[in-house]
Amino acid sequence: MSEIFLSTVLTLDASVRVCIPLIFASMAGLFAERSGVVDIGLEGKLLMSAFIAASAAVVFGSPWVGLLAGIIASSVLAMVHGFASITYKGNQIVSGVAINILAAGLTMILSLAWFKKAGITPTLKNDQRFLSIDLPGLELIDNIPIIGVIYRELISGHNILVYLAFAIVPIVWWVVFRTRFGLRLRAVGENPKAVDTAGISVESLRYKALLIGGILCGIGGVYLSTAYNAQFVKDMTAGSGFIALAALIFGKWHPYKVLAACFLFAFLDAISIRLQGIVIPGIGEIPVQLIEATPYILTIILLAGFIGKAVPPKASAQPYIKEL
């Protein structure tokens, strides 16, 4: 019993760790898509920020410099996306694809130029990364059965970015649903013309949304290379940006539901490693690939309207052309 309990807690703990970049990236996507700009460049921004953060952390010897550099890198890409899709009214999907491919190439080229190795940065020392912190009262609570284990393994012992991720979701909810900016953001995604006639700039709102997205995505990338791992490695995002996009749709563009979707997808990821090679009576061995593919399958089924309906903001992917 206690062994099953412990391994459940450990799986949940692993899910939390996998979940973090998904949360940051999907919240970034939430801002962009709520403003009517489709952002499939989340993957590229995560990757770029992970690389720049690891590089800056190793060169300047501080994870905080890494954090700043990662945020800047991701925001620059977000602004390129804005420049193409807001100012020049180009195709937002094409621009997002460009950002993903550009990030994949640049991280390889720059790592070779800076560190003489393609697709890898030097390993970060402990003082160059975000390390786990023990929450107060650990010794006290540790002695209590069950709760002690949950507190020690699941709640305490994460790095600062993990706590930040969970703190950011209610903040996003508050900004989107309880502030003037949030109201305008949602309006510009549904009906930009109405916002424009009210005398509010559609372009500036969308740029702001993309910038917030750039910052959030940046933190997600920083987490990958300086907290979850201790270096940047080639293609380390491994589709997280797209899973985040799936979670965004699965959570119907609502912060709490998106958080739940992120956690579900992360849990599937964590459990797929544990289920490897285990034979379930009556069913047989479940292929790992099937579990890995589940987030995508679930999203497709949802999108098809078979379980609920995911309706994106109405003005999604449409550049706003002001009447002259």
Partner 1 sequence: MTRERRLSWINGFLLPFLNVLTAFIATAIVFVLIGVDPIKATKILIYGALGYDEGLGYTLYYATNFVFTGLAVAVAFHAGLFNIGGEGQAYVGGLGTALVALYLNPAMSAWIVIPLAISGGLLFGALWAIVPAYLQAYRGSHIVITTIMFNFLASALMVYVLVNVLREVGEMSPESADFIKASWLPFVHDVFASFGYKIAKSPLNLSILVALFFSGLVWFFLWHTRWGFAIRAVGKSNDAAVYGGINPKKIIIVTMCISGALAGLVGINELMGVQHRLFLNFNYGYGFGGIAVALMGRNHPVGILIAAFLFGILYQGGAELDFELQNVSRDIVVVMQGLVILFCGGLEYLYRPILIRFLAPIEGAE
State in angstroms the smallest separation of the CB of 212 from partner 1: 21
Measured CA angle at 268 (ends 267, 272), to 5 deg: 115
9 close to 149: Cβ distance less than 8 angstroms: yes
Buried b (16+ CB within 10 A) or exposed e, 238-261: eebbbbbbbbbbbbebbbeebbeb
Q: Which is nearer to partner 1, 116 or 180 (CB)?
A: 116
State in angstroms the smallest separation of the CB of 96 from partner 1: 8
Q: Which is nearer to partner 1, 28 or 67 (CB)?
A: 28
User: Could you tell me if residue 123 is left (phi over 0), alpha (psi between -120 and 50 degrees) or otherwise beta?
Assistant: beta
Total H helices, total E strands in the chain? 13, 4
> What is the rounded CA–CA span in Å between residue 84 and residue 103?
16
Q: Which is nearer to partner 1, 22 or 168 (CB)?
A: 22
Q: Which is nearer to partner 1, 38 or 69 (CB)?
A: 38
State in angstroms the smallest separation of the CB of 300 from partner 1: 5
Nearest to 151 by CA among 164, 135, 167: 135
Contact residues toward partner 1 (CB under 8 A) are 38, 40, 80-81, 83-85, 88-95, 97-106, 108-110, 112-113, 116, 118-119, 239, 242, 245-246, 249, 287, 289-290, 292-293, 296-297, 299-300, 303-305, 312
State in angstroms the smallest separation of the CB of 275 from partner 1: 14
Question: What stretch of H or E contains 133?
Answer: strand 132-133
Measured CA angle at 27 (ends 257, 221), to 5 deg: 130
Q: Which is nearer to partner 1, 83 or 163 (CB)?
A: 83
Residue type, 38: V
Q: Which is nearer to partner 1, 113 or 283 (CB)?
A: 113
State in angstroms the smallest separation of the CB of 193 from partner 1: 20
State in angstroms the smallest separation of the CB of 145 from partner 1: 40
